[in-house]
Amino acid sequence: MQYPVLIEDGSETTAFGVVFPDLPGCFSAGDTLGSALLAAREAAAAWIEAAVEAGTAIPAPSGPGDVRNLADGKGWTLHLIDLDRPDDGVR
């Protein structure tokens, strides 16, 4: 399933920031866009694993259009990341 992720542009001195709007508290970073996307997958997988262990429902992904509105004009770009989600515990 594809989850939207917002990535804040990095530079030579700052990392690319990563936030999943649908997974509260799930964030990461990377020195390059590629490493930020890889770190995003790892962070989301850990978030989902912790949610399953805690019996917490895993939110369904928002539509890209809904999330794009959060990013517009704020220095964030929208990407979609494929994540495996268990069938149970999904709301």
Cβ(51)–Cβ(60) under 8 Å?
A: no
Instruction: Assign 3-state DSSP to the chain and report helix, strand, coil percentages, each to 5.
Output: 35, 25, 40
Report pTM. Answer: 0.83
Region 31-44 average pLDDT = 96
Domain residue spans of the chain: 2-62+73-82
Statement: residue 90 has pLDDT above 70: no
Region 63-69 average pLDDT = 81
Region 42-58 average pLDDT = 94
51 band by pLDDT with thresholds 50, 70 and 90: very high
CATH dotted code for 2-62+73-82: 3.30.160.250
Gap between the Cα atoms of 20 and 4, Å rounded: 7
